[in-house]
Amino acid sequence: MLELVFSALITVFPDYLFRRYKQGKRLGHEITLFNVWYELRWGLTACAILAITLITVIFYFHPSTRNVSASFRTVSVLSDRVGRVAEVYVKNNVSVNAGDAIFRLDTTRQEAAAETARRRINELDAALELVVTQIAIAAAQLTAAEADLAQARDDLHRRTVLADRNNAVVSEQELERLETAVNRAESQRDSAKSALEGAKLQQTDVIPAQQESARARLFEAETEISLSTVYAEVDGTVKQFLLKPGDIVNPILRPAGVLVPEVTGQGRYAAAFGQISASVLKPGMLVEITCPSKPLTIIPTFVEELQGVIAAGQFRPGDVLLDQQDRSRPGTVTVFLAPIFPEHLIDVPLGSSCVGVAYTSRAQQIEAGEITGFSAFVARLVDGMGIANAIVLRGQAILLPVKALVF
């Protein structure tokens, strides 16, 4: 409307003055509703062309958006395992600090497993002491077996010497009996030696390995017990937290609630501009926004960062080929805004939906001599046209409460 009024003032209005005072035609007589197009055709044509040109230039170099919001991050309150809630330490909408306990799951099964592991460790400690006695017994048995073997070998040796001197003194049956005794003594010695080695192996390898396994099970059970208590990882406020003792918590299907960090998203707005504005939007560009959550207020911000990609172009590999015509929305250019005066963001809730206007300014290039002559004049003229969008934005700020509360 402002562009149309301005265009009419320098096109239709001068044409009317020429018809009225130069040609003597009067409104309502020679210039009527039926012949206004013929009489003011030059002014109307020039007005339409100028209005369209002004609107195109203003909206291209000073883009506006209705999608500005203070995005913020949330943290799901989850447990590491499925379980039944035993205790709840906080209430909904309560501020918590990092490290504060939120709730605890039932740990009866884990505590039983930990107690079993402790008893197993005590059992293995007693078994280790018993093995020391078994080693002493096996060593004594080995000594006795070696002594018996030595005695059997001496008896066999003496009888063999006597048999060599006189066959009638020692019979063949006696020599066979003595050889059998020697073999039996050797077997007993080998058995005692194996028993001693087995007892030592129990002492050095088997029981220590069992002890480590039992300690690992104890550590696992204690870890499960410690993880059963869910703590706040960051400072924030607990939202949608209606957990009660006895409820079942599932980290996949049923989170316990949402934690909104205190610092996440503060002082940073995300705005979505049309793709045609991608070449105009630059870091440092001034952007004014107004939010229904803080009516009648214009918040000056600047473009802090531009997202280098358009979200509508992303895809996830699957078993179906992607067809571009299946994309219903072309996507927008995402811009991150920072306030020039942070105190203006007071009382603006995170997640507020706002509208905004960006203003192109090439004053620094003109002052630095990068833009000179007629180009500098046109640049200043285009930059000055941003006042139209500024007026519109302020009009929106005034009408927002009226539209929301009345219409």
**pLDDT tens-digit map of 298-346:** 999 999 889 888 887 777 777 777 777 777 678 889 999 988 888 888 8
The CA distance from 70 to 267, in Å, is 8
The CA distance from 47 to 50, in Å, is 5
8 A C-beta contact, residue 260 and residue 72 = yes
8 A C-beta contact, residue 302 and residue 338 = yes
- Give percent above pLDDT 70 in the chain: 94
For 258, phi and psi rounded to 5 degrees?
Answer: -130, 135
Q: What is the pLDDT of residue 167?
A: 59
Nearest to 98 by CA among 211, 307, 238, 226: 238
The CA distance from 361 to 285, in Å, is 7
Structure tokens given for 192:
């005692």
Token match 């939906």: residue? Answer: 353
Identity of the residue numbered 101? A
Q: Please report which confidence band the pLDDT of residue 116 belongs to, taking 50, 70 and 90 as the band edges.
A: very high
Q: Does the pLDDT at position 165 exceed 70?
A: no
Nearest to 382 by CA among 362, 405, 407: 362
Structure tokens given for 163:
């048999």
**What is the rounded radius of gyration, in angstroms, for the C-alpha atoms of the chain?**
47
Q: What is the pLDDT of residue 250?
A: 83
Which H or E run includes 273?
strand 269-273
303: left (phi over 0), alpha (psi -120 to 50) or beta: beta
Can you list the alpha helix ranges (DSSP code H) found in 204-327? 207-227
From residue 21, give the alpha-carbon distance in Å to each of 18, 38, 144: 6, 17, 145
| CB-side neighbour CA atoms (13 Å) of 237 | 10
Q: What is the pLDDT of residue 355?
A: 92
The CA distance from 252 to 387, in Å, is 52
For 340, phi and psi rounded to 5 degrees?
Answer: -75, -40
8 A C-beta contact, residue 118 and residue 218 = yes
Q: What is the pLDDT of residue 168?
A: 58
Nearest to 241 by CA among 227, 228, 225, 257: 257
Sheet holding 229-231, edge to edge: 229-231, 101-105, 83-88, 248-249
8 A C-beta contact, residue 289 and residue 355 = yes
Q: Does the pLDDT at position 287 exceed 70?
A: yes
8 A C-beta contact, residue 178 and residue 155 = yes
Which H or E run includes 402?
helix 386-405
Q: Under DSSP, is residue 285 helix (H, G, I), strand (E, B) or coil? A: coil
- The pLDDT of 56-79, averaged and rounded, is 86
Look at 215-224, 299-308, 317-326, 367-376 and tell me which has the smallest mean pLDDT.
317-326
Q: What is the pLDDT of residue 384?
A: 85
The CA distance from 351 to 69, in Å, is 6
Q: What is the pLDDT of residue 288?
A: 92
Q: Return the axis-axis angle of helices 2-9 and 41-61, rounded to nearest 10°.
A: 140
DSSP annotation of 266 reads: T
Q: Does the pLDDT at position 265 exceed 60?
A: no
Q: Does the pLDDT at position 29 exceed 90?
A: no
From residue 308, give the alpha-carbon distance in Å to each of 267, 275, 282, 383: 21, 12, 12, 25
Highest mean pLDDT among 10-14, 15-19, 75-79: 75-79
From residue 326, give the alpha-carbon distance in Å to each of 17, 312, 313, 315, 322: 56, 11, 12, 12, 8
- The pLDDT of 82-102, averaged and rounded, is 90
Q: What is the pLDDT of residue 344?
A: 81
Q: Which residues, other chains included, contact 324 with Cβ-Cβ below 8 Å and sequence gap of 6+?
A: none
Nearest to 128 by CA among 211, 216, 214: 211
Q: What is the pLDDT of residue 171?
A: 65
- The pLDDT of 243-250, averaged and rounded, is 86
- The pLDDT of 74-102, averaged and rounded, is 88
Token match 């630095």: residue? Answer: 368
- The pLDDT of 31-59, averaged and rounded, is 84
Q: Please report which confidence band the pLDDT of residue 263 belongs to, taking 50, 70 and 90 as the band edges.
A: low
- Give percent above pLDDT 90 in the chain: 12
Q: Which residues, other chains included, contact 113 with Cβ-Cβ below 8 Å and sequence gap of 6+?
A: 217, 220, 221, 224
Q: Please report which confidence band the pLDDT of residue 28 belongs to, taking 50, 70 and 90 as the band edges.
A: confident
The CA distance from 59 to 278, in Å, is 13
Q: Please report which confidence band the pLDDT of residue 140 belongs to, taking 50, 70 and 90 as the band edges.
A: confident
What's the mean per-residue pLDDT of the chain? 84
8 A C-beta contact, residue 102 and residue 256 = yes
